[in-house]
Structure 1
Amino acid sequence: MKDKEIAAAITLRDEVAFNRLIKEYSKLLWAVGWSIIGKQGSAEDLEELVSDVFLRFWNQPEKYDEKKGSLKNYLALMTKSMALNRLKAQQKIVETDDVFLLETIPEKEQADDAIWRAFFQAIETLSEPTRTICFQRFFLEWKPAFISERLQLSVDEVNRRLYRGKKKIQIIMDKLLKEGAIND
């Protein structure tokens, strides 16, 4: 089923489509939630977060707009937002920098799903721990000092990996976008 069909089926309260959605995206949402809550939360906190994301989508599927991006990205961003809101409520929010790599992309292009897919694919090609560092920096907007503490690396090492990672991501994104080789 395509994203629009899934959202339409859930609007009609199709439990089979909803269960398929849960099965397909649960691991992703757990990963996004864990990357934000991490050691500050328990497995139960993550389970509750993911359940709340699916419940919110079940109750408001009409808020999803396929023109703004894929359902996968919509659910991941909803998970990120809800996880950060929980941390704020617990007064455990992590300070973020004002500068974010994706902010340099014009707003019109940010809505372009191809840009996001290229960015995700480019990050996926990086080796660990550079992949994790770039994900935490560019998607979660964590400061290098906080990333270094969580990954037990020096701040200099995190900054070096971010610098190299940015260069590789840009090269890979340019190649993917030029070749039109973007996969879902």
Structure 2
Amino acid sequence: MDELKLLKKLKRKKRGALDEVITIYTGYVATIVYNIIGGMMSKEDMEEVVSDVFILLWNHSEKLEESRQSIKGYLGAIARNSSKNKLRGLNSDLSIDEYDMLFPEANLEEEIEQKERAALLLKAIDSMEESEREIFKR
């Protein structure tokens, strides 16, 4: 499905739009949540944060801007913020400065996309003939 069409369906709260988003982006959201809070919280806590991300997207879908950002971008931002909020609840005795030192702002969405592009590039290189692959690598 075209992401712009899906974004418009979300904005209008069309039936099934959230199901499509969940089907497409659950793995992406779960990866972000795991990278931020994995190891510090239980699997159930992480699943709760993933669910909260999609609920927040749905509840605020009328505010989505069609021309400015993708659904993936919105979900990445919501996942980062929701994960950090969950950690703040766990570490409520930390000051804001201590929290920022422990969890510096990272552009996880960009990092994940970079890893995806690298994997695609390696797959393309591996599909080349041996002689072409050697020339390409040099």
TM-score, normalising length from structure 1?
0.51
Answering whether residue 13 of structure 2 is matched by residue 21 of structure 1, we say no
The Cα shift of 1:99 comes to 8.8
Residue type of the alignment partner of 1:54: F
Residue type of the alignment partner of 1:123: K
Percent of residue pairs bearing the same amino acid type: 26
The Cα shift of 1:63 comes to 2.4
SS of the counterpart of 1:40? coil
The Cα shift of 1:66 comes to 3.5
TM-superposition CA deviations, 1:9-61 (whole Å, max 9, x none): 12333232211110100111111101111111111111111111111111111
Distance change >3 Å, CA 12–CA 68, structure 1 → 2: closer
Q: Pick the structure with greater CA Rg.
A: 2
Residue type of the alignment partner of 2:101: E
Answering whether residue 59 of structure 2 is matched by residue 59 of structure 1, we say yes
Partner of 1:123: 115
Give the conservation status (yes or no) of the 8 Å contact 2:8–2:66. Answer: no
Q: For the residues of structure 2 that align with 1:87 and 1:99, how far apart are their CA atoms?
A: 14
CA RMSD of aligned residues (A): 2.8
SS of the counterpart of 1:39? coil
Give the conservation status (yes or no) of the 8 Å contact 2:10–2:62. Answer: no
The Cα shift of 1:98 comes to 7.2
Give the conservation status (yes or no) of the 8 Å contact 1:7–1:62. Answer: no
Residue type of the alignment partner of 1:48: E
Counterparts of 1:168-183 in structure 2, within 5 Å, are: none
TM-score, normalising length from structure 2?
0.65
TM-superposition CA deviations, 1:107-166 (whole Å, max 9, x none): xxxxxxxxx87x65433427xxxxxxxxxxxxxxxxxxxxxxxxxxxxxxxxxxxxxxxx
Distance change >3 Å, CA 39–CA 120, structure 1 → 2: closer
Where structure 2 has 5 or more consecutive residues not aligned to the other structure, the ranges are: 93-98, 120-138
RCO higher in structure (CA 8 A, sep ≥6):
2
Q: In the comparison of the two structures, how many residue pairs are matched?
A: 111
SS of the counterpart of 1:62? helix
Partner of 2:127: none
Partner of 2:83: 83
Partner of 1:70: 70
Q: For the residues of structure 2 that align with 1:31 and 1:73, how far apart are their CA atoms?
A: 14
Please identify, of 45-54 and 89-98, the stretch whose mean Cα deviation from structure 2 is larger: 89-98
Partner of 1:140: none
Where structure 1 has 5 or more consecutive residues not aligned to the other structure, the ranges are: 103-115, 127-184
Distance change >3 Å, CA 66–CA 87, structure 1 → 2: same
